[in-house]
């Protein structure tokens, strides 16, 4: 792709070394030539191989209560078990919260890992850990230190379709900034949708022209730019210049072309299906995620509001659980109907779980010693329960599972080798996940 853009420096190389790619750090050029594929072939002019699987994440920022959702403890004393009763699911012997009736219907597609732990009870470090695979920031010094899994996926796989951004966050990235690329380079930051897909006048700010600017104007600008943007690309051997040119072309195509705008246009969906997903951020976010993945985005993260329910757990969950339930269940069914379920991995997690014992404010506090996450689709088995928590849910009873194991499972499922390294800002090669193993029971 470097050679495609007229970069004589690289065109004249027989091959471009791996180190060169890693050092360059910005070679996406928007055209689906992701690192991994180049690394595998070791050639700049390799044929384009599209990543075959995508990922949709429901990030429950703040920490969702495992006892009230995927890991019910009906036999625990009342101060532990919480307000809900378990219900049976489509998988015999598996019970989940009565507020998840729709997921119960598709439980045979879902897997729950009930034995996740990492031991840190503070939001920032935990969120960093769960989303990057590394411990690091503290509450006070919370700058991100490692790239998020979405950015790693973006860099390793790129988008499946050249016009689409490879990594999108809905409605925007989580507040800590741990969904970004850090030293991988800004190229691999998520494209933030920037507005609520459930809003009546939902529009993507970045794809929406400011007042006073029409599509025709942009078309004129685009034509003029072609005339004036003639600085030779070969004067910059680093590729930054041709990279920016390619991104300008991509941005103009996104704004003026149909494909990307259509992918973001929920109004073309059948209203009945939109209703089934649910008229809320969760539902419309999930629907938008499906449309983006269909159009060629590789990783979409739906950030689902704040789950930090220290007080009044019950009314808060009443607000959050039904929409999450509808969104996930409908997404599963929709993907299945479309024959996409095996190609789209679904992951629902937050930074930690919540205390087994309900506190004095009728809430639950932070609990990192044992909590649950959901994994489905992507060719994984379904209906599996991985690991167990002890009877009151406070500790892992069997098959302890770390954030590393979860990331390893995600990367493995998407076809990203676990020994992939990227250099940090000092040039030290840093593993995308430095420990952990895929959860083989799901594969």
Smallest gap from Cβ 147 to another protein, in A, equals 13
Q: Based on CB atoms, which residue is closest to another protein, 119 or 315?
A: 119
Q: Is 440 in the site for another protein (CB under 8 A)?
A: no
Q: Does 218 bind another protein (CB under 8 A)?
A: yes
Q: Shortest approach of another protein to residue 368 CB, angstroms?
A: 19
Q: Does 254 bind another protein (CB under 8 A)?
A: yes
Residue 153: which H helix or E strand, with range?
A: helix 149-157
Residue with tokens 């929920």: 266
Q: What is the CA radius of gyration of the chain?
A: 22
Q: Which of 108, 172, 248, 259 binds another protein (CB under 8 A)?
A: 248
Q: Which residues are 88's β-sheet partners?
A: 95
- Report, in Å, the least distance between residue 87 CB and another protein: 40
- Binding-site member from 26, 64, 287, 374 for another protein (CB under 8 A): 26
167-170 and 388-389 strand pairing: unpaired
In whole angstroms, how close is the CB of 102 to another protein at the nearest point? 35
Q: How far is the CB of 280 from another protein (least distance, A)?
A: 27
* Binding residue for another protein, selected from 88, 199, 224, 337, defined by CB under 8 A: 224
DSSP annotation of 260 reads H
- Rule CB under 8 A: say whether 252 interacts with another protein: yes
65/120 with CB nearer another protein: 120
Please give the helix or strand (H or E) that residue 319 lies within, else none: helix 313-337
Between CA 65 and CA 71 the distance in angstroms is 9
Residue whose CB is less far from another protein, 203 or 276: 203
Least separation, in Å, of the C-beta of 356 and another protein? 28
Strand partners for 169 = 192, 301
Strands 429-431 and 421-423: antiparallel
Binding of residue 127 to another protein (CB under 8 A): no
Residue with tokens 């992918």: 263
Residue 243 touching another protein (CB under 8 A): yes
- Cα–Cα distance, 371 to 373 (Å, whole number): 7
Q: Decide if residue 141 touches another protein (CB under 8 A).
A: yes
Which one of residues 75, 78, 139, 201 is an interface residue with another protein (CB under 8 A)? 139
Q: CB nearer to another protein: give 391 or 415.
A: 415
Residue 424 CB, nearest approach to another protein (Å): 9
Residue 185, interface with another protein (CB under 8 A)? yes
* Minimum CB–partner distance for residue 425 and another protein (Å): 5
The answer to whether 300 touches 197, Cβ cutoff 8 Å, is no
Q: Is there binding between residue 13 and another protein (CB under 8 A)? A: yes
Task: Indicate whether 274 belongs to the interface with another protein (CB under 8 A).
Answer: no
**Binding-site member from 246, 325, 351, 405 for another protein (CB under 8 A):** 246
Q: Which of 216, 155, 219 is nearest to 183 (CA)?
A: 155
DSSP string, 99-139: T-HHHHHTGGGEEEEEEE-----SHHHHHHHHHHS-----S
Query: CA-CA distance, 91 to 440, in Å (whole number)?
Result: 20
**Which of the ranges 13-21, 61-69, 85-93, 388-396 carries the binding residues for another protein, by CB under 8 A?**
13-21
Mark the segment that binds another protein (CB under 8 A) among 43-51, 94-102, 201-209, 368-376.
201-209
Neighbouring-strand partners of residue 113: 373, 386
Which residue's CB is nearer to another protein, number 229 or number 319? 229
Among 79, 337, 421, 443, binds another protein (CB under 8 A): 421
Tokens 């060629």 identify what position? 296
Tell me the closest approach of the beta carbon of residue 187 to another protein, in angstroms. Answer: 5
DSSP letters of 35-54? HHHHHHHT-TTPPP-----E
Binding to another protein by residue 267, rule CB under 8 A? no
Residue 422 three-state SS: strand
Per CB under 8 A, the segment of 38-46, 298-306, 342-350, 430-438 that binds another protein is 430-438
The reply on whether position 397 binds another protein by CB under 8 A is no
Distances (CA, A) of 163 to 110, 189, 435: 31, 16, 34
Any idea what the Cα angle at residue 99 is, between residues 76 and 195, rounded to 5°? 130
Report the relative pairing of strands 366-367 and 86-88 from DSSP bridges: unpaired
Name which of residues 157 to 176 contact another protein (CB under 8 A): 165
- Rounded CA-CA distance 330/297 in Å is 20
How far apart (Å, rounded) are the C-alpha atoms in residues 374 and 112?
5
Q: Binding another protein by CB under 8 A: which of 3, 4, 9, 294?
A: 9
Residue 311 has which token pair? Answer: 């007080």
The smaller minimum CB distance to another protein, of residues 227 and 267, is found at 227
Region near another protein per CB under 8 A, out of 86-94, 98-106, 292-300, 428-436: 428-436
């Amino acid at each position: 792709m470097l050679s495609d853009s007229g970069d004589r420096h690289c065109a004249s190389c027989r091959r471009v070394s791996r180190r060169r790619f890693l050092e360059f750090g910005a070679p996406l050029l928007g055209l689906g030539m992701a690192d991994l594929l180049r690394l595998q072939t070791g050639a700049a002019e390799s044929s384009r191989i599209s990543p075959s699987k995508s990922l949709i994440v429901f990030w429950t920022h703040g920490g969702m209560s495992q006892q009230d959702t995927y890991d019910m403890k009906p036999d625990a004393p009342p101060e532990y078990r919480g307000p809900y009763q378990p219900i049976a699911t489509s998988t015999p012997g598996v019970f989940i919260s009565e507020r998840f009736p729709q997921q119960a219907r598709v439980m045979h597609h879902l897997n729950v890992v009930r034995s996740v732990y990492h031991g840190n009870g503070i939001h920032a470090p935990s969120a960093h850990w769960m989303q990057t695979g590394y411990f690091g920031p503290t509450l006070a010094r919370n700058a991100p230190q490692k790239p998020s899994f979405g950015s790693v996926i973006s860099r390793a796989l790129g988008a499946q379709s050249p016009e689409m951004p490879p990594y999108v966050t809905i409605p925007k990235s989580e507040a800590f900034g741990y969904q970004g690329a850090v030293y991988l380079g800004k190229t691999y930051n998520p494209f933030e949708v920037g507005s609520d897909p459930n809003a009546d006048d939902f529009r993507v700010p970045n794809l929406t022209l400011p007042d006073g600017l029409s599509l025709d104007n942009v078309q004129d600008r685009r034509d003029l730019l072609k005339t004036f943007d003639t600085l030779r690309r070969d004067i910059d051997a680093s590729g930054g210049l041709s990279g920016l040119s390619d991104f300008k072309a991509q941005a103009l195509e996104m704004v003026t072309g149909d494909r990307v705008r259509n992918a973001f246009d929920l109004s073309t969906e059948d209203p009945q299906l939109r209703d089934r997903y649910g008229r809320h951020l969760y539902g419309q976010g999930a629907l938008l995620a499906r449309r983006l993945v269909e159009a060629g985005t590789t990783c979409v993260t739906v950030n689902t509001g704040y789950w930090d329910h220290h007080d009044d757990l019950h009314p808060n969950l009443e607000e959050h659980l039904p929409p999450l339930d509808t969104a996930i269940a409908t997404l599963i069914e929709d993907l299945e109907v479309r024959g996409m379920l095996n190609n789209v991995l679904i992951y629902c997690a937050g930074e930690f779980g919540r205390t087994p014992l309900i506190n004095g404010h009728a809430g639950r506090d932070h609990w990192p010693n044992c909590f649950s996450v959901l994994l489905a689709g992507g060719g994984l088995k379904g209906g599996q329960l991985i690991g167990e928590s002890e009877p009151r849910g406070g500790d892992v009873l069997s098959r302890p599972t770390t954030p590393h194991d979860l990331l390893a499972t995600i990367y493995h499922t998407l076809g990203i080798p676990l020994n992939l390294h990227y250099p940090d800002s000092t040039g030290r090669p840093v593993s995308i996940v430095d420990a952990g193993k895929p959860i083989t029971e799901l594969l």
